[in-house]
Structure 1
């Protein structure tokens, strides 16, 4: 550990200079303190943005949490994933009470985090119940260091209702074309092409066949991830993991994925994709979908929430989107429902600067309790839901608010506002009364669908979009979890190579997509050569070793 500290000190030397030059008058409080009304303030840095957060927790759910725990959270949210601010914390040696990180290697190397294992054992019965022995075993840092530094914030035993990734197509398109088969990328292309030719404009605006959300990190989760999602891979970030040998390959280097990006090239050459696709921002993408003139997109479900809600609020049900399990050809299966098991690696930690770690762990344990889990999903009884015949139910007018008010979560505090700070029960998990913790159940999802959506699903012989996708039972649980959650040693050569490879990918894959079809192979070979030149083979070997170590640790 001493050698690690020395190495870290040299690396962060210039960051220390930056911190030293900051105006002390602009420093923020980052230690727990007691407010005038007797609440204990716990500061927390979150590596993600949260537009729904309300200061002082002044929402119905937030107020109840303050009353129950005596804790006021003082969060700082980041849009860079903590990439800049966490190194600055390490350089200064000054930390908030808690940190939500996307990989904590550099924090662990800096001795910034405390071991949560004894705190959980003594003060967190709800966390122990939720995670179980197997889950707590997965949280161990390494074989050499069995400490628990990071508490996962992922859902536990999740049986997701909405497919996590697929091709999203307007209901109006499939209805007018008499519900065509949509199974392959060529099926998707034909549907978009035919409808676009029939309707070159929609509501006076030029029709866009297909666009993608490529703003910042979203280019990976949508456009770049189409490479493995369309060729039978599950989401492991930038790497494809061989399920038999655990060998890691930068997924773009799989020859079959070249065919996916060649399809993108063909779509572009035929004028079927948005010419602004690689330069637009997130709000532009959402505005285009909400206008009703985009026929299709591909990507994860969470990038569709705002446009879908906007279309529904505007009464444009037929321009909303259904999600289909499209792959390159019928040889492959969409693996949206393959289980990772409990996801660990990313999550919340308590730092060495927290003056009351017992208070902090008890707060996290409170979030994991059955009563709080129900509140975070359903809201306050009598205000957001009712009990009838012993069952929770949401009144029709409240459902309407949930569906049409884009600020519903912000106004109520329901949802990810607080659930993001601790593990949570996933969809399909039942409480002690036999009722689901979440509102995302099959029955409620069907009830919540629009008439148009039900009409389209019925035409395809389904009740939910989930019914069109291969089920979780068709795939084994991944013994390495999700590869993108596996911690990479801080400041390692692997991190450097991965970043260089990603920079090259963000430049050359779009270039190949936009190239003249006669030049696609040339650009692709340029891309493959550039990856070799940054020593990607070495990165794959090191990543393979990390995967195998994780599998071995979890199998003990």
Structure 2
């Protein structure tokens, strides 16, 4: 329904954590974070001489590698734990559902899909984590709020997973060097400077810049929209792409937010003025967006704020040596909710050949230095801490980042193993960010709306309200291209109004009431925002 959530994130969450490296400072002692400050001895796996191979299904079609073999992260895991991970990457969104239905799950499963989290959170399919903890790792303490949040996916009050990307809002606001990931605009700095670095704070400024690019660089495409992430354009109209609201400030479906209509109209105007190509609306993968970047024809791109401008620069520099991509500073009407309810999670299935080693591995992965290592590599070789306790990248890792080859070299990310919390990941974004991007991150942290409950407010899979929710989401998604490529204002208004009427037939009012009520109840029950 809300296309720019997660994965936007939420997830949009997809490249959101691929770009990250790791964290600097963990939450202070006594916090609600599972990621723990640990002594060096506690970072060590209890019995690395016990060799175990786990088969693991990773429910991410977009994962930039098909195997961890020959990667630095695989080498690190095997050396320090004795565990070898054979990953199977999803080929489509239904593959895991088929494995669940056929009771053919491997040892471990990672997914971020809310419906699949619900299906896996049962005694029939996976181990309740507290049961394994009590039996094998009693020192592994899970704070109550995280137990409650993860248990929301089950029907029996047990929790079968520990989502990554979670911290309390208080922890985040007290932390330093947070690099939040959100829908962002990324542009060619060299071209922007050649145009005189014009003002870029309002919608009028944006359209003026698009026209300047079109007139002065006729062979370039002024704007390339990543169809998976166009939340950066929402700031042109002050729309919050993660928490749509009606006129009364209630959390609702995107098509019920008047500013979403304004966003669609802006995109339609961009199309009709020739700033976005018609072909762009047929893109179905990130790679199609990247092709425009690699040829040097893309001036501005909608994407994620996870330092991908550095990857884009690496892609284009062979074609255009002086080219450089940078993130666009947040505009005047930027409005964004950062949901921190957790994202993906690793499950230990009932088919797991060695659940004792699996829960010990999860405990090991959650330790501070190990969590960083699972995304960034070896401490002392790939990364370390400075005098203030902030993470710094060392020569080997930095070379890989600069060359745009870190995914091929390292083949691993802590999110696969539920190792990361939000601060871990965000510190990682910040660690590799340029000074200009760090200023944007600092601005975003101050201006963002933060919520621990938002991503938990969706209807549960299998319910009547969830079916209506999904049908409206599909309607919104399928209508988007037609609406945004309308040939006239009259056609735009007709198409948008028809979409809303169809949604009302499905049950739009009922779904909106559910989202509003459930979100407010979660905030009250969990004592969070």
- Please give the TM-score of this superposition, normalised by the length of structure 1: 0.73
Q: How does 1:183-222 map to 2 (within 5 A)?
A: 183-200=201-218, 206-214=219-227, 218=228, 221-222=229-230
Residue 534 (structure 1) aligns with: 506
Q: 1-side partners of 2:342 and 2:392: how far apart?
A: 33
Aligned to 2:6: none
2:150 aligned to which of 136, 139, 147: 139
- Structure 1 residues 124 and 174, CA, compared in 2 at 3 Å: closer, same or farther? farther
- Would the aligned equivalents of 2:468 and 2:511 in 1 still touch at CA under 8 Å? yes
- In the alignment, which residue of structure 2 is the partner of 1:362? 360
Q: For residues 336-372 of structure 1, what are the alpha-carbon distances to aligned partners after superposition, in whole Å with 9 as ceiling and x for unaligned?
A: xx5434x236412222222432211111111112331
C-alpha RMSD of matched pairs (Å): 3.5
Aligned twin of 2:327: 322
Q: Is the 8 A contact 2:339 2:450 kept in 1?
A: yes
SS in 1 for 2:495: helix
Q: Tell me what 2:268 maps to.
A: 265
Query: 1:125 and 1:286, CA in 2 relative to 1: closer, same or farther beyond 3 A?
Result: farther
- Residue 262 of structure 1: how far off its partner (Å): 1.1
Structure 2 CA distance, aligned partners of 1:523 and 1:243? 22
Q: Is the counterpart of residue 116 in structure 1 residue 129 in structure 2?
A: yes
Choose from 86, 90, 110 the match for 2:96. 86
Whether 1:178 and 2:149 are equivalent positions in the alignment is no
Aligned to 2:469: 498
Partner SS, residue 402 of structure 1:
helix
**What's the CA shift for 1:313?**
6.0
What are the residue-to-residue correspondences of 1:68-107 with 2, within 5 Å?
A: 68-81=80-93, 84-101=94-111, 102-103=113-114, 104-107=117-120
Are positions 1:423 and 2:419 aligned together?
Answer: yes
Cα distance in structure 1, aligned partners of 2:385 and 2:153: 46
With 72-81 and 357-366 compared, the bigger mean Cα shift is at: 72-81
Tell me, yes or no, if the aligned pair for 2:296 and 2:319 is still in contact at 8 Å.
no
Bigger Cα Rg: 1
Instruction: Say how many residue pairs are matched.
Output: 466
Matched, 1:235 2:242: yes
SS in 2 for 1:477: strand
Structure 1 gap segments, 5+ residues each: 1-36, 201-205, 430-436, 450-456
- Distance change (3 Å), C-alpha of 1:348 and 1:545: farther
Matched, 1:301 2:289: no
**Which deviates more, 89-98 or 302-311?**
302-311
Question: Which has the higher mean CA deviation after the structures are superposed, 262-271 or 394-403?
Answer: 394-403
Shift of 1:476: 5.4
Aligned counterparts of 2:68 and 2:95: Cα–Cα separation in 1: 23
Q: Secondary structure at the match of 2:280?
A: coil
Contact 1:311–1:317 (Cα < 8 Å) also in 2: no
TM-fit CA distance, 1:49: 3.0
Q: Distance in 2 between matches of 1:54 and 1:90?
A: 21
Indicate which of 262, 275, 278 corresponds to 1:275: 278
SS at match of 1:263: helix
CA pair 351-553 structure 1, distance change in 2 beyond 3 A: farther
Does the CA-based 8 Å contact 1:427-1:440 persist in structure 2? no
Q: Is contact 2:239-2:263 (8 Å) kept?
A: no
